[in-house]
Chain A
Amino acid sequence: MIKLRLFTLFFFCLSMGILGAQEKYFELVAEKSTNSFNEKGYTYFGHIKPLNNHPYAILHFEGISKTELHKGIMDYLKERPGLVIKPKYTNEHLIIYRDFATIGSKEQCFADLVGLVYVYAIPEEDGTIKLDMSTSDLFASVNNAVLRITPDDNVASDADVPFNEYKYVQPADQTYLSSGSTASRILLGSRTKRKKHSLKEAYPDSVFDPEGNVVNATNKVLIETFFNNYAEDLHNYLKARFK
């Protein structure tokens, strides 16, 4: 048993070491919402964004022209058949591709997490590529749903097994109406009563609690690593190509 624990600890340290060695481009954050959804309990919303409040994550390839970068990205996509290019929106200034991939299993993350990632790659004349993945969607299932995707990115589960969009932030307490007890009906004359229920316990896979505090650091690292891998993989491919 002790050996097993030591092995688990060693494996954890090793994986953290590997994760630590990876270049970081994106981070998962919870920000306070300013829209009217607040009343429905979504005060905070979580999303993936480039580090240091930059609008884009940037890959640098000094001295490489925009045309060369564009060709490099297109060749990269030819070598990654799992990544689906969106020809309708792709042109000489912008390349959009998507992936549909597993982030983690229920055993790791409390729910099966799947990412529908959209990568917007913008090659520039100054030898940089701007990357944006903010329109990506994540899905979560605690019911072992097997998800499928169509060529135009509609997602459904086999036999309609329950799944949903992943909630980065656990839902806040919600008020439900229920029929009151006989005593309350007689005493208060009310037929229904309002009762506040906490729902966050059903969302252990969420990274943030309703107040925006991190409650699942493991999933935060997993999701950030998942997004960073797309930037890292493209960077490594082009770095090898242009060296």
Chain B
Amino acid sequence: MNSKIFKPILVLAFSILSTSVFGQKSRKNDEALRFAIEERYKKDQAYAQAKRAAFNRSSWIGSKLSELISSWGPPTRVVTDGADGKIAVYEKASYNSGGTYTPGYVVTNGWGQVVAEKKSEDTRWSSSYSETVAVYADKDNIIREVKFDNTYKQN
């Protein structure tokens, strides 16, 4: 009598347990896949955005130098390329700094013994960034090449 009741309960309990374990595993797999897809999306997005600046710069190749100047504004300087062409140079520099300097102190008593001391704290920093875009145009003022160079220094 007891086993007749016990068996279906056992089967029911087992099926609930197995469904729950399977469901949990499947949910974990779904989460892992979602995470992986999101990571790829983030990386691909960052890459696409990083490529934009260089693409836009070199899209000017084949255009007239005057068109670029009317879009970008006057260059920092224009130099000759040593032949018939010229190079319009655009330079940009920025300087950043931050942090503070807190002087230290030493307190002595009447006998010259140090009773309190604190070392100075210096968290000052500075950095500089410079960027040069050199636009090479031929004798007909057609842009043939755009070169980019940048440097970053942290002190």
Tell whether B54 is near chain A: CB-to-CB under 8 Å: yes
Give the shortest distance, in Å, between B33 (CB) and chain A (any CB): 5
How many residues in B have their beta carbons less than 8 Å from beta carbons of A? 26
- Taking a contact as CB atoms under 8 Å apart, the answer to whether B54 and A143 are in contact is no
Nearest CB in chain B to that of A195: its residue: B35
Tell whether A36 is near chain B: CB-to-CB under 8 Å: no
- Contacts A142-B40, A152-B146, A201-B36 hold; do A162 and B45 have CB atoms under 8 A apart? yes
CA A168 – CA B19 in complex, angstroms?
38
Contact with B along A197-219 (1 / 0, CB 8 A): 11111110000000000000000
Measured between beta carbons, the chain B residues less than 8 angstroms from A143 are: 41, 44
Interface centre among A161, A198, A199 (most CB of B within 10 A): A199
Interface centre among A142, A148, A162, A203 (most CB of B within 10 A): A162
Measured between beta carbons, the chain B residues less than 8 angstroms from A198 are: 32, 36
How many residues in A have their beta carbons less than 8 Å from beta carbons of B? 25
Tell whether A154 is near chain B: CB-to-CB under 8 Å: yes
- Taking a contact as CB atoms under 8 Å apart, the answer to whether A202 and B36 are in contact is yes
Give the shortest distance, in Å, between A195 (CB) and chain B (any CB): 10
Measured between beta carbons, the chain B residues less than 8 angstroms from A116 are: none
Contact with A along B88-126 (1 / 0, CB 8 A): 000000000000000000000000000000000000000
Nearest CB in chain A to that of B61: its residue: A151
Give the shortest distance, in Å, between A204 (CB) and chain B (any CB): 10
Tell whether A134 is near chain B: CB-to-CB under 8 Å: no
Measured between beta carbons, the chain A residues less than 8 angstroms from B41 are: 143, 162
Measured between beta carbons, the chain B residues less than 8 angstroms from A92 are: none
- Contacts A152-B58, A152-B61, A160-B52 hold; do A197 and B39 have CB atoms under 8 A apart? yes
Tell whether A156 is near chain B: CB-to-CB under 8 Å: yes
Measured between beta carbons, the chain A residues less than 8 angstroms from B39 are: 197, 199, 202
Measured between beta carbons, the chain A residues less than 8 angstroms from B43 are: 164
- Taking a contact as CB atoms under 8 Å apart, the answer to whether A148 and B36 are in contact is no
Tell whether A222 is near chain B: CB-to-CB under 8 Å: no
Contact with B along A58-102 (1 / 0, CB 8 A): 000000000000000000000000000000000000000000000
CA A162 – CA B55 in complex, angstroms?
15
Measured between beta carbons, the chain A residues less than 8 angstroms from B56 are: 156
Interface centre among A141, A156, A157, A160 (most CB of B within 10 A): A156
Q: Besides the contacts A142-B44, A154-B58, A157-B51, what 15 more A-B pairs have beta carbons closer than 8 Å?
A: A143-B41, A148-B55, A150-B55, A150-B58, A150-B61, A152-B145, A154-B55, A155-B51, A156-B51, A161-B48, A163-B44, A199-B36, A199-B39, A200-B36, A203-B40
- Name 12 A/B residue pairs within 8 A (Cβ), A-sorted: A150-B58, A152-B146, A154-B55, A156-B52, A156-B56, A160-B52, A162-B47, A165-B47, A199-B39, A201-B33, A202-B37, A203-B40
Q: CB within 8 Å of A: which residues of B?
A: 32-33, 35-37, 39-41, 43-45, 47-49, 51-52, 54-59, 61-62, 145-146
